[in-house]
Amino acid sequence: MKEKPVFEEDLRKLQKIVDELSSGKLTLGESLKRYEEGVKIAQACSSTLGEAQRKVELLMKKDGKFSLEKFDDTDEGEEA
């Protein structure tokens, strides 16, 4: 399971960095630091969204207990 709170926090951070940097009020040293941080976060967020490993599961409940079963969603022989 992905860490949604981290992702959302990252996006907020990124937005803040963009705002700070575009304000033009930072020193060159600060700018470089923020820029580096921002680029790193942007890449991390993009790659999270670009990830192609997904799980498809069936949620089962027996005697009040949850269990997960693999759900086969391969379609029309598109994938083996």
Partner 1 sequence: MQKNKLEQYGPASNSRSHKLKGYGSVSGEREAGHVYTVSEITQKIKTLLEEKVGEVWVEGEISNFNSGPNGHFYFSLKDQSCIIKAAMFFYANRGLKFKLENGLKVLCFGKVNVYGPHGQYQIVVERVELKGIGAQQLAFEQLKKKLAQEGLFDQAHKRPLPLMPFSVGIVTSAKGAAVRDILQILKKGAPCVDALIRSVRVQGEYAAGEICSAIEELNSFGGVDLIIVSRGGGSSEDLWSFNEEAVARAVYGSRIPVISAVGHQINTTLSDLAADIFVETPSAAAKIIVDRKNALLSEIADWKHSLDFSMKNAINGLGADLIALKHALKSPADRLLEKQQFLDELLAGLNYNIRHSLELAKERSSSLIQRLGVLSPLAVLSRGYSLSMIIPKEEILKESSQLKAGDRLKTVLHRGSFTSIVQEVFRDEGKTGI
- By CB under 8 A, what part of segment 7-66 binds partner 1? 7-8, 11, 14-15, 17-18, 21-22, 24, 26, 28, 31-32, 35, 38-39, 42, 45-46, 48-59, 61, 66
Residue pair 34/24 in contact by the 8 Å Cβ criterion:
no
Shortest CB 33 distance to partner 1, Å: 11
Closest CA to 20 of 10, 29, 30: 30
Q: Give the span between the Cα atoms of 35 and 21, in whole angstroms.
A: 7
Query: Is there a contact between 27 and 51 (Cβ–Cβ < 8 Å)?
Result: no
Binding footprint of partner 1 on the chain (CB under 8 A): 1-2, 4, 7-8, 11, 14-15, 17-18, 21-22, 24, 26, 28, 31-32, 35, 38-39, 42, 45-46, 48-59, 61, 66, 68, 71, 73, 75
